[in-house]
């Protein structure tokens, strides 16, 4: 069995367990691939690019929620030095 066939079978199993079919299985494969497994290849082949995107989105959501949850703090002024 080739490496590509093994990946296809594993990804099919992940989709079955999750009960969800991904439109683009290459993103699923990247999300499950540690950077050390693709040394010398593009960052697109590991989860680092997706991790960076996810961290950025999470940071934006937390900042938005905090900004709206603590409206009273926006009017506070910093003491001058």
**pTM as predicted:** 0.64
Q: How confident is the model at residue 81 (pLDDT cuts 50, 70, 90)?
A: low
CA torsion 51-52-55-58 (nearest 10°) is -100
Closest CA to 44 of 34, 56, 30: 30
**How much is the pLDDT for 6?**
84
Q: What is the pLDDT of residues 8-66, one digit of tens each?
A: 899 999 999 999 999 998 889 899 999 888 888 877 789 999 999 999 999 999 999 99
Q: How confident is the model at residue 80 (pLDDT cuts 50, 70, 90)?
A: confident
User: Dihedral angle at the C-alpha atoms of 51, 55, 61, 63, nearest 10 degrees?
Assistant: -170
Whether the per-residue pLDDT at 3 is higher than 80: the answer is: no
């Amino acid at each position: 069995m080739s490496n590509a066939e093994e990946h296809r079978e594993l990804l099919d199993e992940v989709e079955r367990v999750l009960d969800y079919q991904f439109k683009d299985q290459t993103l699923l494969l990247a999300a499950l691939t540690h950077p050390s497994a693709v040394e010398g290849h593009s960052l697109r082949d590991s989860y680092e690019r997706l991790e960076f995107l996810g961290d950025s989105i999470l940071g934006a959501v937390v900042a938005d929620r905090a900004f709206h949850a603590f409206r009273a703090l926006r009017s506070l002024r910093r003491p001058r030095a």
